[in-house]
């Protein structure tokens, strides 16, 4: 009997204001520290992806989301970059959101800022940048292969 893949679901939120997207620079996490990405997190056991992104957004940037205001805009799949497993990346866009954006995790995020879609930081997390490019082109699903991760120095197994 073959071993089944145990992929880890991860969720990401696209918060936009005045044509710009909110990005935070990671720090002290051991993964992609020094690079920018949107608020994100893993789906916990017993939690639905939409519940996870609502929770993570509140925990990370003090923004309240409502289920009906979320739109799934992109799905990505990538092989494991460490022993924890492959990733299924679910990118949601908030059609509306409430609250004042605030860095609620300064121990994990050293900068929180709005960036133009056309002028993203060079040090944006690779798979997030790839997803952004797909979203701009209307591509709903993409995969990043092991060879690409190795080439970028992102495959540590």
Per-residue pLDDT reduced to its tens digit, 56-111: 999 999 999 999 999 999 999 998 877 778 999 999 999 999 999 999 999 999 99
What contacts 157, CB < 8 A, 6 or more positions away? 80, 81, 82, 83
What contacts 120, CB < 8 A, 6 or more positions away? 21, 23, 36, 129, 132
85, 74 Cβ separation under 8 angstroms: no
Q: Of 87, 71, 74, 73, nearest to 32 (Cα)?
A: 87
CA distances from 68 to 26, 59, 127 (A): 29, 19, 26
What's the CATH number for 8-151?
Answer: 3.90.79.10
Mean pLDDT for the stretch of residues 13-34: 95
pLDDT value of residue 30: 87
pLDDT-based confidence at residue 155 (cuts at 50, 70, 90): confident
Instruction: Name the average pLDDT for the chain.
Output: 94
* Longest CA span, the chain: 53
pLDDT-based confidence at residue 4 (cuts at 50, 70, 90): confident
Token output for 94: 């908030």
122, 42 Cβ separation under 8 angstroms: no
Q: How far apart are CA 157 and CA 137, in angstroms?
A: 32
């Amino acid at each position: 009997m073959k071993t089944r893949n145990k992929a880890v679901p991860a969720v990401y939120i696209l918060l936009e204001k005045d044509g710009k997207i909110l990005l935070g620079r990671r720090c002290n996490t051991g993964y992609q520290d020094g690079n920018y990405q949107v608020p994100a997190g893993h789906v916990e056991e017993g939690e639905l992806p939409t519940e996870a992104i609502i929770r993570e957004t509140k925990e990370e940037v003090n923004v309240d989301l409502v289920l009906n205001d979320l739109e799934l805009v992109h799905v990505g799949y990538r092989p494991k970059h460490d022993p924890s497993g492959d990733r299924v990346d679910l990118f949601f866009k908030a059609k509306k959101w409430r609250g004042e954006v605030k860095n609620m995790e300064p121990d994990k995020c050293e900068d929180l800022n709005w960036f133009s879609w056309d002028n993203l930081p060079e040090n944006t997390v690779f798979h997030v940048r790839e997803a952004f490019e797909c979203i701009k082109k209307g591509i709903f699903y993409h995969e990043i292969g092991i060879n690409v991760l190795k080439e970028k120095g992102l495959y540590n197994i």
